[in-house]
Chain A
């Protein structure tokens, strides 16, 4: 029976590694990365993945091997009566400690880039103010005067546009409870805290539409807080803003032409 259980434990590293080998090809993996920060973060993810993968496989296989070899039913040798090995303890303390410390220090640059080093001049010039509320994303773009908080601001909801290949700064706020501004394709995530105003900056490198997800429980409608990020060239972005601005000032409304079905 011991051999049977040993094989069961061997299945752990085999299927464990196997699943991670199968998943990317089957379409279950990190979303496409379209930002400059994203590739730093992805690189670190893979770094940790490989490191932990090797340790995982090694320790689990060793576990299997010992179970197989030292099964009481088949092991006729006397038990190795020892209380430990000082040398081994030193080795397997120092080595992991050094590795872990290295991993930590290696990551600091990426963290600083994403969360601490806001590009020069961007701090005072938000591209858009995003105010999260239950259960939508209220957007406010500075109008033609370029200043947020004036009557010509452009208000919108859920449909966030940003210019392509430019440093964008989002001024993140919340009107009521904690929310979280999560852009999976840009590897951006930041809690929106009521009472705080938090800058989030990124540069999107590919045009298209992407999901904006709320990633902090904000009530019953948390799942419903779907936003859409549209990345488009600067000219199209400006035009979109102009159209919104003029629609916002509408004093007349044309009779809708209903197409015949």
Chain B
């Protein structure tokens, strides 16, 4: 598909030409085929779910700090008969839905759906995705999932309560857990829809990145964001079908009483259960075969965005571009052979503990290489401490912690002790929150001007960063200590064990920091919403960045670019001796008479 024709919608896809003025409100803003609108739809939806997931976490923290006391907001309304104290099954629902929402409705869609959608065509110089209708569908297929999850809270038994990992037989047998009524089935159906949406996106992104790059945009001139999105899309494509299959199998076990995961001879809640003949471990293998690559799906795009932001604000080229690309590919490739490290204690053949230990240790290597390269990027730069840069730097700092704590878990004998303790919870949140979420915040501050044509407030952005950073570390670093003490996950009341009775004070400290962190997000919400309407208007390139999206207007119109961009160099030419200014955009032609660097006629 040639994109050399200037200013035309040469991809001939299923949308009519030159008619944006006559599109109805519904076609323009609701069922839009424009990748930017779809990206912003994803952004708003996921930010709303972020609030829901966060509130659920705060409820968990309340119970752990002050167990069986009256829980604010929820207690008097739902448990008045018991004096406001929550019931134990409610607690299991809280942490299940917190994790499920954060993983499937916040992190994955915000990275791929919001940032991927918005940035990919802009950064590669295309005017839209390869399949705009498929793109629109990938957003709207999230809505049945949204409805399933919201409905699940209100059905008898409440929302799913078997952990976000949904291990059978607990999740597969109705009577094993409250919430194992319809709520658990809704959870399965919701996740199936999320999977379909992600598959659609993944196909779109791979095709777009391969086929629709602007002239001169070779693969090794792509910004790291795009490389990360590309490899993430490949991960989605290979891993998701396994999860979808497993979800269907468990749904059949629940609804039709098949026996994929349920062995014979079980007596649950006074009844003999099910067809039998199944294996609980089968679910674990299938689930983790997807969910391990999923955790890389949840971090690689953020790593890409962070590379772009750090290079831009250090005013210096990215250190080791090709090693960075190969590291991402290495993480993704190795990511397919490490899933067993979630199952060391599961009862699978212990010999597998050895093999997965080796592969899991090795996957730390490309991540380490990336950290060193980020440090190399900062070295010798001229660092501008803007809000996006602060979040990007904190990504590096927090990811170091999260990555290093992962080595404890990779060490299989050590995992015997720390599996299913708060050590794991600390690790998860350092990589996903301290890593990805901070990277996402940075990305929002960074690309907000491009999305909406206005700047977010820098001062309040820094306040948001400062408070989030302090409270985040207060909340989650301390959890490493809890985990070293063996403090288990998912217990509604751990303090009646002698081993953990003295840890309540530390939990209270963690909860107070968590409430502080939650409160700090109010500042972000106010900044975000306020800036949408009142932020100072900005030009095309407020950050003086090199990549192609800054070449388009802020916000870009339909078709993205006024004239077809042509690419002459990589995206990290900051501080180049060839020009006077400290940045050298990809699409700026070389000075007259400069040798080489002719634009290529094709894509590769």
Nearest-neighbor residue (CB-CB) of B497 within chain A: A211
Question: A89: which of B323, B416, B482, B498 is its contact (CB, 8 Å)?
Answer: B323
B494 proximity list for chain A (CB < 8 A) = 223
- Report Cα–Cα, A8/B417, bound state, in Å: 33
Q: Are B317 and A81 interface neighbours, CB within 8 A?
A: yes
**Which of the candidate stretches A53-61, A121-129, A157-165 sits at the interface with the other chain?**
A53-61
- Report Cα–Cα, A81/B416, bound state, in Å: 47
B484 proximity list for chain A (CB < 8 A) = 23, 28-30, 45
Q: Contacts A41-B417, A111-B353; is A67 near B407 (CB within 8 Å)?
A: no
In the complex, A176 has a CB within 8 A of chain B: yes
B279 proximity list for chain A (CB < 8 A) = 195
B416 proximity list for chain A (CB < 8 A) = 41, 114-115, 187-189
Instruction: Count B interface residues, CB 8 Å.
Output: 118
B473 proximity list for chain A (CB < 8 A) = 12, 15
Write out, one digit per residue, whether chain B residues 377-403 have a CB within 8 A of any chain A CB (1) or not (0).
011111111000010011011001100
Q: Contacts A190-B347, A191-B345; is A40 near B413 (CB within 8 Å)?
A: yes
Q: Are A80 and B390 interface neighbours, CB within 8 A?
A: no
A232 to chain B, nearest CB (A): 17
Write out, one digit per residue, whether chain A residues 70-83 have a CB within 8 A of any chain B CB (1) or not (0).
11100101111111
Q: Contacts A16-B401, A89-B320, A220-B178; is A29 near B485 (CB within 8 Å)?
A: yes
In the complex, B411 has a CB within 8 A of chain A: yes
Q: Contacts A30-B486, A134-B176, A185-B499; is A79 near B491 (CB within 8 Å)?
A: no
In the complex, B376 has a CB within 8 A of chain A: yes
B366 to chain A, nearest CB (A): 9
In the complex, B149 has a CB within 8 A of chain A: no
A226 proximity list for chain B (CB < 8 A) = 496-497
Write out, one digit per residue, whether chain A residues 208-241 have a CB within 8 A of any chain B CB (1) or not (0).
0011010111111111101000000000000000
Which B residues fall within an 8 A CB radius of A?
Answer: 87-89, 91-92, 161-163, 167-170, 173, 176-178, 263-269, 273, 278-281, 314-323, 345-347, 350-351, 353-354, 357-358, 361-362, 364-365, 368-369, 371-373, 375-376, 378-385, 390, 393-394, 396-397, 400-401, 404-405, 407-408, 410-414, 416-417, 419-421, 466, 469, 473, 477-478, 480-482, 484-486, 488-494, 496-499, 502-503, 506, 572, 574-577, 582
20 contacts between A and B (CB under 8 A): A45-B417, A62-B375, A67-B383, A72-B384, A79-B382, A81-B317, A82-B319, A84-B320, A92-B372, A96-B365, A97-B362, A108-B354, A134-B176, A175-B267, A177-B268, A184-B486, A185-B499, A196-B263, A217-B167, A220-B161
User: Lowest 10 CB-CB distances: which A-B pairs, in order?
Assistant: A195-B263, A80-B380, A79-B575, A220-B89, A84-B320, A223-B491, A115-B350, A184-B486, A52-B404, A72-B382
A31-B499, A177-B169 known; 11 other A-B pairs, CB under 8 Å?
A49-B408, A59-B375, A72-B383, A84-B373, A92-B372, A107-B414, A112-B354, A194-B266, A210-B499, A218-B170, A219-B89
